[in-house]
Structure 1
Amino acid sequence: MPSDPDHVLDAIDGVVDEWETLSADAMRWAPPETKSPDLMSEVSEILGPLVNAFSQVLRPVSDALERALQAAFDDDDEDDGPGRPA
């Protein structure tokens, strides 16, 4: 590689020109394409909130069932007593 100053300046100019070209391309922005909604996205927009609401309605029922099962199994443990072998 020659060490003359003109060659170094040409190399720097080439790098700067290349960077300006690439950065101009990188700075271009185009808005996303708008697609018409398909059947699956429309169905998910409708059913998503309904499923969420239904699960929130069933939460107290599941909590009550859990408490009932826990109480039933806790009562069985108390029946064993200290005198009975496990």
Structure 2
Amino acid sequence: MINKKMKKYQGLFHLKNLPDLVIVVDPSINYAAIKEAKKMQIPVLAFIDIETPRIEEVDYWIPISNRSTQSIYQFFKIFVNLNK
């Protein structure tokens, strides 16, 4: 069990600084990540679908279908290109 968790989160162990922003694709599934980010005072950006309940801990909402991989891909493609 511990090895499974270590493998799942191994990329986080090498962080030297906290991230500037946490992006959550499905806030209802990733609520624990949202709570942890807020505890560490990291802003949270989340995709909101018509069926997604509003979560108060989310700082920025993007109205987009979080069930469509095409929509999510397009968002991240634009987001990455803006930060180059």
Q: TM-score, normalised by structure 2?
A: 0.23
Which has more strand, going by share of residues? 2
